Amino acid sequence: MAKLRVGVVFGGRSGEHEVSLASARSVMAALDREKYQVAPVGITREGRWLTAGDPMARLEAILAGQADPGPAGGALPPGRRALVPGIGPEGFPEVDIAFPLLHGPYGEDGTIQGLFEMAGLPYVGAGVLGSAVAMDKVTTKMLFQASGLPIAEFWVASRGQWQEEPDQVVAAVEEQFDYPCFVKPANLGSSVGVTKAHRREELQAGLALAAEYDRRLLVERAVDAREIEVSVLGNEEPLASIPGEILPSREFYDYAAKYLDNRSELLIPAPLPAELAGEIRDLAVRAYRVLDVAGMARADFLLDRQTMRPLVNELNTVPGFTSISMYPKLWEASGLPYPRLLDRLIELALQRFADRQRDRVTR
């Protein structure tokens, strides 16, 4: 049988560019070369698509401040199942499926998923709607709230409100929440732009920082909580892994604690009573369905230390994918090893694409 040609897409325009490269290195190393022909597709921070030469080496060189060592190239117009013709060392004319490993905006938010849909190209992970709503923390919380899922109390302001009436915004937050509280941009990942505010000055600085990243600013009540994560896998019948727990090296699980200081700990499985672990897994699947996610997502929870009540925090539809990332490690501990997990994600993408082909198209 001919090998399936997998276009692994990485880099991108978000602040999680380097994390994306790490995920892509791991996935490309683990894909079974007996089954797959791997075509790396890099995207620079400026949005230029690199398909010739060694896209990973080219992006690494650019990050190191060096000149791009590869030939000139750019985004190519999409065609049916041939989004980026001519990619890969063998020069094959098209890919069979895309595996996007773009974390954050312009990759996890429905934008590139829409491009793949227009190109008629199967792709791993959630669709346009699921990607977009899961990326937007405000919309996510509103949908969770409307569906009766337990969440932490939140409040929303616009960037315009903050810039025009900063005193009123601060007063409204202080009226609703005690300190500390969390301030976040609505659309971003890896805790970029997130502040834990312990007093008014930190709240003001946090709102200003969040406004640099998004037009909607989210403020959440801080909960004295344990951080629990569950990996979810599937389309119509999603399954949840065993829960894991994060012991952050800092006051909360910020970007430095996730990627820089190497001192945060992962407990797999999380030390939880069986009944509570089951409840959290059920909530993860419910949240996955509420947001219409497909393929995969990591569900993040806050477990209130006082009440032991789990609160759904968010879903990440393109979670970190290195061999030591929580998403694949939870599945490995649940009996699904990393290479087989990649196989299953590709299977699910092809199944979802086949199902979409059944849709009646108006002409």
pTM of the entire predicted model: 0.89
pLDDT at 46: 87
Position 160, amino acid: G
pLDDT at 321: 93
pLDDT at 68: 86
pLDDT at 189: 62
Greatest CA span in the chain, whole angstroms? 66
Assigned CATH topology for domain 134-150+224-354:
D-amino Acid Aminotransferase; Chain A, domain 1 (3.30.470)
Rg of the Cα trace of the chain?
Answer: 21
* Sign of the dihedral defined by the CA atoms of residues 168, 172, 175, 178, in that order: negative
CATH architecture of 4-123: 3-Layer(aba) Sandwich (3.40)
CB-side neighbour CA atoms (13 Å) of 172: 16
pLDDT at 124: 98
Distance separating alpha carbons of residues 297 and 352, to the nearest angstrom:
15
- Counting every residue, how long is the chain? 363
For 122: left if phi > 0, alpha if psi spans -120 to 50, otherwise beta; the answer is: beta
pLDDT at 73: 52
pLDDT at 78: 43
Assigned CATH topology for domain 154-221:
Dna Ligase; domain 1 (3.30.1490)
Distance separating alpha carbons of residues 296 and 301, to the nearest angstrom:
16
Position 357, amino acid: Q
Give the Cβ contact number of residue 205 at 10 Å.
Answer: 13
Distance separating alpha carbons of residues 308 and 89, to the nearest angstrom:
53
DSSP 13-55: SSTTHHHHHHHHHHHHHHS-TTTEEEEEEEE-TT--EE-SS-H
Give the Cβ contact number of residue 46 at 10 Å.
Answer: 7
Instruction: List Cβ neighbours of 343 (8 Å cut-off, separation of 6 or more).
Output: 32, 35
pLDDT at 93: 39
pLDDT at 262: 63
Show which residues are catalytic.
16, 190, 259, 298, 300, 314, 316, 320
What is the mean pLDDT for each group of 10 consecutive residues in the chain (363 residues)? 91 90 96 95 88 90 89 49 45 75 92 90 96 96 98 96 96 96 84 89 96 94 96 98 88 52 82 98 98 98 97 96 91 97 98 90 55
pLDDT at 92: 36
Distance separating alpha carbons of residues 85 and 14, to the nearest angstrom:
25
Query: What is the crossing angle of helices 200-211 and 166-176, to 10°?
Result: 120
Domain boundaries, the chain: 4-123, 134-150+224-354, 154-221
342 SS3 class: helix
pLDDT at 32: 96
Distance separating alpha carbons of residues 51 and 39, to the nearest angstrom:
8
Instruction: List Cβ neighbours of 200 (8 Å cut-off, separation of 6 or more).
Output: 170, 174
CB-side neighbour CA atoms (13 Å) of 80: 0
List, in sequence order, every residue forming a beta bridge with 265; answer none if it has no partner: 247
pLDDT at 53: 84
Query: What is the crossing angle of helices 17-30 and 55-63, to 10°?
Result: 150
pLDDT at 268: 96
